[in-house]
Amino acid sequence: MARLNYTLLGRYLLTASVRRDGYSAFGQEHPRATFPAVAFAWQISEEDFFNISMINRMKLRLSWGVNGNRDIGIYSALARLGSNLWFDGSSARVGVYNSTLSNPGLRWERTESINVGLDMGLFENRIDLSLDYYDMTTTDLLMNRILPKITGFTSITSNLGELGNKGFEMTLNTVN
């Protein structure tokens, strides 16, 4: 993991990070993934031209990043074995069979997001307002794909589908 923070003139803020992560649940083809992120903020209220008496603090934010999800059981990409006891007429025997299928291509679920925000402190910071717009897309969703019974298996852990989420958020805090 690496992270860089930089501030220029107390007004311009930059943060960049990268994380490389691995997990035993994923297949041999993709056991690790890299997750980058970058964010920029501009403290507009620190500029010389900013002179609005009722606004004490104003900051514009922009961020982009990728995050991962590994919410599956350990070794989910590997085939598992089950056992079965049976009697051959004279002694007990143990049979071994595949109870799940392997998926060597199983990979991290990834969520890419972008966020634009505005923070303001009004009336000597007695009112704090934050406005945000976000747009997130999750790909390679980790799911159990149902298989036809004729295969001899009920499901396999797979990366399926894509999910989008976007919207606005507003947070208002007051000191009365």
pTM: 0.79
Q: What is the pLDDT of residue 2?
A: 95
The first and second tokens of residue 132, run together, are: 């945000």
The first and second tokens of residue 47, run together, are: 């500029």
C-alpha distances in Å from residue 104, one per residue of 1, 92, 117: 26, 35, 40
**Would you give per-residue pLDDT tens digits along the chain (176 residues)?**
999 999 999 899 999 999 999 888 888 888 899 999 999 999 999 888 988 889 999 999 999 999 998 888 788 888 888 888 888 888 898 988 888 888 888 889 999 999 999 999 999 889 999 999 999 999 999 888 998 988 888 888 888 989 999 999 999 999 98
Q: What is the pLDDT of residue 9?
A: 92
Q: What is the pLDDT of residue 136?
A: 97
Residues 6+ apart with CB under 8 A from 99: 80, 81, 82
Contact between 163 and 137 (Cβ < 8 Å): yes
Q: What is the pLDDT of residue 57?
A: 93
Q: What is the pLDDT of residue 120?
A: 95
- C-alpha angle 151-157-162 in degrees, rounded to nearest 5: 120
**Secondary structure (DSSP) of 63-126:** EEEEEEE--S-TTTTS--EEEEEEE-SSSEEEEEEE-S---TT---EEEEEEEEEEEEEETTTT
